[in-house]
Chain A
Amino acid sequence: MLLAWVRDIVEGVESFVVGMGSTARFAYENWSGKATGAMTLEYPAQKQAMPAAFRGHLFNNVSNCITCKLCAKACPVDCFVIEGERNEENKFRTSRFDIDLTKCIYCGLCTRACPTDCLTMQGGFELDPVNTVNQRGQRFLFTQRPDQLDVRLEGAEVDRLLRVSSLKPGEVGAEDRAFLDRIEDPRGTAIIAKFGVGYYTADEVKQVDARREELKKAKEAQAAAAKAAADKAKAEAAAKAAADALASAPAQEPKP
C-alpha cells in the first residue's frame, strides 16, 4: 500500500522529468538556432514555394485559346464567362475570358478539358480582395490577360501589364497609366483591356461595355441581314424550284 503510493509518485516524477527534458531540448534547439524539422515561415514576408502540381489560380493564355468553351462545360460550378468574336480579318478570337474565383473550387477539371493547354493552374493562391474587386462590382473576377477586344501583347509588355495590374488603384503612377493608355486597339478604340482592377474608372468600363454592346449589336444586325438575305434567296430558290417542278411535273415522278 505505502510502497504502491510511493511508486506512483516516483513514476510520476520520472515521466515528468523526461517530459520537461524534451521541451527544454526543443526550446534550446530553437533558441540556439540548431533546430531541425519544420519551422514556421513568417508568411507574408517569406513565401513557401508551391510544388509543381499545385492547383492554384487559373491562368488562361488567351493567344492560344480557341474559345471552344470545353472548360466551361467541364466546370462543375459554372465559374466561366467566355465570349468570342471575329475581327475584321474574320479571324476568331476570345474577347472575354472571366473566371469567377468566388465560385471556383480549384478542381482542375477545366485544365484537363482544355485541348490547347492554354488554361493552366498556377502556383499563386493569394486572393487580395482589394486587388481583385472589379470596377463592375464583381469580386474576384479575374481576367488574367488583356483579353478584351483585339489587343495582342507579348513578352515584356505582358509582364509590365501583369505588374501594373497588381497595383492598387491609388498606386498606379502616371507612367504606368501612360503605358496602359498606349495599348490601343488596332481599330482605334482607346481602351482595350479591362485588366485586373482599378486602373479604369467606372466610366471607362462603361465605355468598354458600350463598345462591346455596340459591336455585338452590329454583329447581330449583320447576322440578321445575312439571314434575311439567305431567307430571301432560299425563298426565291424555293419559288423557282416550285415553278420548275410545276413545269416538269408530268414528265418526272418522284421516286421513293
Chain B
Amino acid sequence: MNGFHQSFLATAAWFSSCGLPGWLGLVLAGVVFYAVPLFAVVLPIAGLGQIFERKIAAAMQRRIGPSTTGIVGILRLTVNLALPWKAKAECNRLAERLVAFGPVALLDRLLTRTGVAQLAADGVKMIGKEDLVPSGVDGWLFRAAPYLAIAGAFLPFVVVPWSQHLVGADLSIGLVWVAAAGGLTAVAILLAGWGSNNKWTMLGGMRAVAQIVSYEIPVGLCMAAVAMWCGTLSLQQMVAAQYHPGVLSFLGWNLIQSPFMVILAGTFYLAAIAECQRTPFDTAEAESELVSGFNTEMSGLRWGMFAMAEYTETFLIGALFAVLFLGGYQSPVGEQWILSLPPLAETVIHVAIMTAKCLVAIWVMMWIRWTLPRFRIDQVMRLAWLKLVPLALVCLFGLALTMLLGARIEQVAYGRLLSAPSAQLPLIAWALSWLLAGGAIIALVVAAKRSGPPMPAALRRLTTAPARKA
C-alpha cells in the first residue's frame, strides 16, 4: 500500500518470526507504528489546544491569560517530584542561575508569555489529584467511560491521511469508519452520565446523546454529499480527487467547486462542533445549569481524559474539514511540485500543511466559542432538525444536480462522458454551476430579506457593529 504500511507489516512479520502469535505481532507493530506516533503528535496538540484556548479567550475578553508559569516553576516542580527531599532553596538558586543565562531567559520568556509552561502545571495538577470514585456509582460504567471517550476521539484518526505515504490505514470505507468510531463518544458520555448516579450527570448525558444523535444526521449528510462528489469513501482518494495540477492547486478544492459546497462546509462545521459538544452547543456540560454536566463526578485524570478527548475531537474536526473541503494535506499553491519531491520531504511538508489547516479550523472553533453564548437544549435541537438537516439535504440534491449537469455539458462540449463522476467539473460546467446555483441562492436570500416585516430598529442596532470611538 505504502512504505509506512509495508514497514508495519514487516515488523509484524518479524514479531511473528520471534515466536509470538500472529495477532499479537500485528497488535505490537500497530502500537509501535501507529498508536505511539499518533499519541505523540495528537496528545501534545490537544494539550496545547487548552492553553491556546485560554490565551484566545483572554485576548477576546481583554485579559492576559496564563502568563506566570515558567522554567523556574517547572524545574522546582520536577525536582520536588523527582527527589525524595524537598530541595526548595537549592532548586530556587539553581533555577534562578539558569534563567539568568541568555538563551534560557529567552526561552523562559517565550514559555511564560505564551502560557505554554502552564501545560506542565495543569498536567501535574491533574495527575496529582485524588482519584475519587463516589459511593453509589455504577463502578464499571463510571470507570469505563473516560477510556471510551478517549477511544472515540482517537480511533477516527486511523484513517486521516497526513501525506501520500503517512496514513494509519487507508480504509475504503474511511468516512463510515470516522462516523462509527466517533459514535463511541456518545456511548462514553451516556455511560458517564448514567454511571455517576447523579442528577446533573444524568441530565447532561441524556442531553448529550440526544444532541449527538441529532447532529450525526447533518454531519452524515454532508459526508455523504462529499463522498458522492468525490466518488469515494476513502479519505486518501478524496484528497487525491481534489488534486489540481499547475500553480493554483487550490482550484481543485471541494470548497470552491460549487456554491452548495460552501453552504455544505458551513453546515458540516457547525454540526461537527455540536457533535463534539463545544460551546455554543455544550448543553451537556452547561456549567451554569448542570454544574459540569456528564463529568460532574469525574475527578483528576478521569476528567482529564474527557477534556483531552474534547480537544482531540476539535483536532479531528479540523482534519476532517480539511480533507472534505480544503484539499486535505495539499498545498494551496504548487502542489504539483511538492508531489514530485522525495517521499520524506513531501511527507514533512504535507504534515505541516495539514497541521496548519487543522490549527486554523481549531482557531475558528475557539473564536466561535468565545463569541456565542450557549444555546438552550431546545434551540440546539431546533437548529439541527429545522435548519441543518434541510440545508444539508438541499445541498446534497444540489450537488447531485450539478454533477448531472456537468456530465451532460461534458458530453455535449467534449463529445464524451467521463467514465466516473469527477470531483472537478469542466470549466464551462463549473462557471455555469456557480452562475446558476449562486444566482438562485442570492435571489432567494434577497427575496427572503424583503419578505415579512423589517427587522425592529432595536434588533438592527444589535446586529450591526457599533461605531468605534475615535
Contacts and interface: CB of A to CB of B under 8 A. Distances in A.
A197 to B, nearest CB: 21
B61 interface: yes
B184 to A, nearest CB: 31
Contacts of A39: 62-64
A3 B448 contact: yes
Interface in B283-299: none
Contacts of A22: 371, 465-466
Interface in A19-55: 19-24, 26-27, 30-31, 35, 37-40, 42
Contacts of B466: 22
A10 B445 contact: yes
A18 B465 CA distance: 6
Contact of B462 (A6, A8, A15, A35): A15
Contacts of A2: 444
Given A19-B372, A40-B63, A4 B451 contact: yes
B60 A26 contact: yes
Which of A8, A14, A40 has most B Cβ within 10 Å? Answer: A40
A11 interface: yes
B463 A14 contact: yes
Nearest to A22: B465
Contacts of B462: 15
A212 interface: no
A232 B367 CA distance: 92
A9 interface: yes
A243 B20 CA distance: 127
A7 B448 contact: yes
A18 B463 contact: yes
Contacts of B64: 39-40, 42
A179 interface: no
B370 interface: yes
B455 interface: yes
Contacts of B455: 11
A17 to B, nearest CB: 9
A106 interface: no
A37 B386 CA distance: 41
Nearest to A4: B452
Interface string A85-107: 00000000000000000000000
A9 B63 CA distance: 33
B67 interface: yes
Contacts of A24: 367
A26 B452 contact: no
B445 A15 contact: no
Interface string B354-373: 00000000000001101110
B69 to A, nearest CB: 13
Interface size grouping (class) on chain A? 20 to 34
A19 B451 contact: no
A16 interface: yes
Interface string A39-82: 11010000000000000000000000000000000000000000
Contact of A20 (B59, B371, B387, B445): B371
Nearest to B370: A23
Contact of B391 (A4, A7, A9): A9
A27 B449 CA distance: 31
B68 interface: yes
B126 interface: no
Contact of B451 (A3, A23, A35, A40): A3
A11 B62 contact: no
A14 B445 CA distance: 12
Contacts of B67: 42
B281 to A, nearest CB: 14
B464 interface: yes
Interface string B377-410: 0000000001100110000000000000000000
Contacts of B445: 6, 10
A240 to B, nearest CB: 78
Given A9-B387, A26-B60, A42-B67, A18 B464 contact: yes
A83 B100 CA distance: 52
A40 B56 CA distance: 15
Contacts of A18: 463-465
Contact of A26 (B59, B386, B447, B448): B59
Contacts of B444: 2-3, 6
Interface in B437-459: 444-445, 447-449, 451-452, 455
B451 A30 contact: no
Contacts of A10: 445, 448-449
Given A3-B448, A27-B59, A40-B63, 12 more contacts: A4-B451, A4-B452, A7-B452, A8-B387, A9-B391, A10-B449, A11-B463, A12-B387, A16-B371, A30-B58, A30-B60, A40-B58
8 contacts: A3-B447, A4-B448, A7-B449, A7-B451, A10-B449, A23-B60, A31-B59, A42-B64
Interface of B: 56, 58-64, 67-68, 367-368, 370-372, 386-387, 390-391, 444-445, 447-449, 451-452, 455, 462-466
Q: Which 3 A/B pairs are nearest by Cβ-Cβ distance?
A: A6-B448, A7-B448, A27-B59
